[in-house]
Structure 1
Amino acid sequence: MNDQPDSAVVEMLVELAGRAPSVHNSQPWRWVYSEHGLDLFTDRSRLLGAIDPTERQLVLSCGAALDHLCTAAAAFRWTADVESMPTPGAPDHLARVRLTHDAHPRSHEFDLLAAINRRHSDRRAFGPVPNNRIPARYPRRVDGVHDVRTTFLSAEAKETLATASRLSANVRKYDASYQAEIRWWAGHSFRSGGIPPEALTDRTESSRVRVGREFPEPHRIGRTGTAATDESTVVLLGTASDERVNWLQCGRVMSAFLLAATADGLATCPLTHMTEQAGSRALVESLAPGRGVPQVLIRIGAPMVGSPLAPTPRRAVSSVLSVATGSTARGTRKTLPL
């Protein structure tokens, strides 16, 4: 194991992985570094029980963090060998990453590295995807992630998505647990997560994006926008099955797609609310029959002109990364509790 990165490198990679999107910026992951490699676990203390009772979005979020880490590693000349679900009977142990210092990054890897810090979920209206962009090539970047199917939905399909979005909102309208949870995570922020009001939209602005989740209206936004109608393209990611490993793989592909689109100058926003309820999920599935179980949708398009969005808070590396006691990893500087 002499070629393992030292703890300073691992801390840097975990910090970049922490920029991944997660359900309501909950960042539900933790990492353990040892002589066996870098292990990814779920952090159940960050589970949104009313919004995500099956833990599907928790695992999707962790898959996105895993892809962010592998993307960052490649830019720093580390090849990441990922073993998914490495411990039978331990569903919280999602992946083990072994890093080898033999990668040969190309210019696009550095573009993706820059995209990690630029990417954010933009809930505002988008312009159409410019003609000189080819989003169909984005999913090809993920090697070895199987059974995730990407479908570009037509403009006409957005009417059905709007119906699915309304259906999801109506089901949740009088769900007190859901409403309390979303108000905790959205509309204010704390140092370790949450969606700040500056990252949300007011009622007028959100009404232009008919496929978006209904969030509490923020008290203050403090930016100017545009009255443009949303002309985004919506992409559907589906999986062959609806198991934990499928969710993890889908999260990786979601991350890959978002970073590629960001590197291409597009605005992005993942959408999960339409796949949370059986009725709305069935409507989404009807748009791409035979394309697998719908897991997440992504809006992409030209970013609107206006005030930039404020960055959302991220957990400190020290709160998500542990170095196992007795680790022989070269350069380990400190030991953190597991």
Structure 2
Amino acid sequence: MDALIPDTDVVRTAVDLACRAPSVHNSQPWQWRYDAGRLDLYADPTRLLVAADPRGRQLLISCGAALHHLTVAMTSLRWRTHVRLLPDPLAPRLVASVTFSRDARPQSHDFDLLAAIRRRRTDRTPFEPLPVNPLLPELLRTAAGTDATLTVLGEDTRPALAAATEMSSAVRRYDASYQAELHWWAGHGFDTEGIPDTALASRAERERVPVGRAFPDSHAVVSAEPGPSDQSTVMLLSTPGDSPTDWIRCGEAMSAVTLEATVQRLATCPLTHLTDIERSRDTIRALAPGAGVPQLLLRVGTSTHPAPLNITPRRPVAQVLTFG
């Protein structure tokens, strides 16, 4: 064992936690390689959603979220991470190279964030409002420590957000490739990937969430009674530009905010699709002038579920991590 670099067991544990990060359609579009103290994160082009994400923007947001999850895990394991984004212009698939030093001093909140990695779920059902306490300022402070801007969109923006949602859905409604891709990833019983039926909203629930992606209806749970419409707080994550680096940074910020929200016992649902269609992106941009380039929306609120949502599947670490 070399005390100056993490051993393989530490790296395996951290990557396992990193791969709990949210990714578009739970596609988990990443590969990791560890050698001589350096951990490389690669984008996996075989998991690119060609119809939904032709530019690879959502893929790199997903990789950024996994990268931030990794730093949280390694901090709790008492290793400080040193990250270089897109370090090799000749290797565009190489998202980041990470090295480590043995000088991390985790605080109690770092262990709260570590526990949140296991507890966090993407909840596509309607939310109750945020409780009246300092939780919202805490989320804003979390985002302030990233390279993205978090903007809280007020109630008066709901009609415009609903219009952007409908606009995005209308563009995709008769896109056969998009619909085939969506139905492949969502609602199936895959053991290691995709969105299981139990993680989708029922038709009644989906109709009460005016700002969301139009996934297939869940048949696992049927709402007995119609309930109130979604009362979540909608937030916007923006970046200074619209480059691959910005996309990765946005993913890191999304991870930071969703983990902090999970620590605070809040429900979250990231939405990356509304900013892929230029017209809906322009609508959202007008709601937060000066905030930068809109990258994703985040619904945050109080869950209406009496018990935690089921865990969604993940690929075994052996499939995504190699050594040597």
Task: State how far apart, in whole Å, the 2-side matches of 1:222 and 1:13 are.
Answer: 37
Give the secondary structure class of the aligned counterpart of 2:215.
Answer: coil
Matches within 5 A, 1:21-40: 21-35=22-36, 37-40=38-41
Residue of structure 2 in register with 1:106 after alignment = 107
Write the distance in 2 (CA, Å) between the matches of 1:284 and 1:306. Answer: 33
SS in 1 for 2:155: coil
Distance 1:120 1:305, change over 3 A: closer
Q: Deviations over 1:134-185 (max 9, x none)?
A: 3233354468743x11111001112111100000000001000000000000
* TM-score (norm. length: structure 2): 0.96
Q: Is 1:313 paired with 2:307?
A: no
Q: Which residue is equivalent to 1:160?
A: 160
Kindly report which structure 2 residues correspond to 1:15-26, keeping only aligned pairs within 5 A, or say none: 15-26=16-27
Shift of 1:84: 0.9
The 5 A counterparts of 1:225-264 are 227-264=227-264
Task: Give 2:104's aligned amino acid.
Answer: A
Structure 2 partner of 1:97: 98
Pairwise CA distance, 1:2: 4.9
- Output aligned runs, 1:245-284, within 5 Å: 245-284=245-284
Amino acid at match of 1:319: Q
Following TM superposition, by how much is the alpha carbon of 1:195 offset from its aligned partner in structure 2, in angstroms? 0.4
CA contact (8 A) 1:225 1:307 kept: no
1:329 is matched with which residue? none
- Identify the range of structure 1 (113-122 vs 2-11) with the bigger mean alpha-carbon deviation: 2-11
For 1:281-328, what per-residue CA distance to the aligned partner results, in whole angstroms no more than 9, with x for missing partners? 11111100111110011000111134542211001000000102xxxx
Q: Which runs of 5+ in 2 are unaligned?
A: none
**Conservation of the 8 A alpha-carbon contact between 1:189 and 1:313:** no
Structure 1 residue ranges without an equivalent (≥5): 325-338
Per-residue CA shift, 1:48-100, capped at 9, x if unaligned?
Answer: 00000000000000000000010111111111111111112322111111121
Identify if the C-alpha distance between structure 1 residues 225 and 24 changes in structure 2 by more than 3 Å, giving closer, same or farther: farther
| Kept in 2: contact 1:226–1:306 (CA 8 A) | no
Q: After TM superposition, list the pairs within 5 Å mapping 1:1-338 onto structure 2.
A: 2-35=3-36, 37-141=38-142, 145-146=146-147, 148-221=148-221, 227-324=227-324
One-letter amino acid of the structure 1 residue matched with residue 252 of structure 2: R
Q: Deviations over 1:99-121 (max 9, x none)?
A: 21211111110110010000010
Number of corresponding residues: 323
Cα 1:39–1:207 change in 2 (3 A) is same
| Paired residue type of 2:242 | D
Between the aligned partners of 1:215 and 1:142, the Cα distance in structure 2 is 28
Instruction: Say what the alpha-carbon RMSD is for the aligned residues.
Output: 1.7
Q: Secondary structure in 2 aligned to 1:156?
A: helix
Amino acid at match of 1:96: S
Instruction: Give the partner amino acid of 2:260.
Output: A
- Would the alpha carbon gap of residues 96 and 223 (structure 1) be closer, same or farther in structure 2, given more than 3 Å must change? farther
Local SS of the residue matching 2:32: strand
Is the CA contact 1:226–1:305 (under 8 Å) kept in the aligned structure 2? no
2:203 and 2:218 in contact (8 A); partners too: no
Q: Percent identity?
A: 49
Alpha-carbon distance in 1 for matches of 2:183, 2:88: 36
